[in-house]
Amino acid sequence: MNRMRQSVEVIGDSDAIAIERTLAGDRDAFRVLVERHSQSVFRLAYRMTGNQHDAEEVVQEAFLRAYQKLEQFAEKANFGTWVYRIAANYAIDRMRQRKSEDSQRAPAAARGVEEGAAELDLMSMVPDAAPSPERLAQSTQLAAHMRRALIELTPAERTAFVMRHWGGSGIEEIAAALESSSSAAKNTVFRAVQKLRQALGPFVEQRGQARAMGTEL
């Protein structure tokens, strides 16, 4: 535990040095920050946007914005958390933009179905090395339901849920990303969990029962 805390502190210290050097005009020092935090920002972005292409765009844009705003970064803050929030904000913008573009092209409901279908199409095309077809079918089906349930959350709900559940972000941090009050952010997390539960509960229970009966392969 102590070793872990020490390594976090070391990363924090070296982040601070890289930031100082970047601000002093050494552009290449920013590379350290990009290489160190890209993976975690990608995971956040993928879970928020639901596809790799948008996630990669979010990652690039987050680091570009972080570089532009680096002067505003408070020295004692954590760079990882800060860039995470920038990425979450941009991902929200991107999701809203996609939504408004979609609603201009086709009725929202029809679009939702089409997008879900497209996701499923792509997923069904992906070859999988798993040997059991039944297990593959079950896990693919559940994964498709989960993806769809996340897509059907509002951008704010998805952001709040992803930041809280997978990012471990504090309520204040989520509130800042959503530009809302802490209590509103807390409610958004709750609504997201409630919706996910409604959408996925029956499938998860079904899987649980299958496991208990030993019918899941």
Q: Which of 6, 134, 137, 208 binds another protein (CB under 8 A)?
A: 208
Is residue 3 part of the contact set for another protein (CB under 8 A)? no
CA distance 76 to 16: 8
Shortest distance, CB of residue 169 to another protein, whole angstroms? 9
- For another protein, the closer of residues 5 and 53 by Cβ is 53
- For another protein, the closer of residues 75 and 121 by Cβ is 121
Is residue 197 part of the contact set for another protein (CB under 8 A)? yes
Q: Concatenate the DSSP letters of all residues of 39-82 into one string.
A: HHHHHHHHHHHSSHHHHHHHHHHHHHHHHHTGGGS-TTS-HHHH
**Binders in 77-96 for another protein, by CB under 8 A:** none
**165: nearest Cα among 136, 202, 196, 134:** 196
In this structure, which amino acid lies at residue 59?
V
Neighbours of 11 (CB within 10 A): 15
Is residue 213 part of the contact set for another protein (CB under 8 A)? no
Is residue 24 part of the contact set for another protein (CB under 8 A)? yes
CB neighbour burial string for 128-144, b if at least 16 within 10 angstroms, e if fewer: eeeeeeeeeebebeeeb
The tokens 């972080």 sit on which residue? 66
Among the candidate windows 5-13, 78-86, 123-131, 151-159, which touches another protein by CB under 8 A?
123-131
Is residue 8 part of the contact set for another protein (CB under 8 A)? no
H-helix or E-strand containing 195? helix 182-212
Q: Which of 142, 151, 176, 184 binds another protein (CB under 8 A)?
A: 142
Is residue 25 part of the contact set for another protein (CB under 8 A)? yes
Shortest distance, CB of residue 173 to another protein, whole angstroms? 9
Contacts of 55 (CB under 8 A, 6+ apart): 42, 45, 46, 48, 49
CA distance 78 to 95: 26
Is residue 5 part of the contact set for another protein (CB under 8 A)? no
- For another protein, the closer of residues 12 and 170 by Cβ is 170
| Residues at the site binding another protein, with contacts judged by CB under 8 A | 21-31, 34-39, 42-43, 46-47, 51-53, 56-57, 59-61, 63-64, 67, 70, 101, 118, 121-122, 125-127, 142-143, 146-147, 164-165, 168, 170-172, 182, 185-186, 189-190, 193-194, 196-197, 200-201, 203-205, 207-208
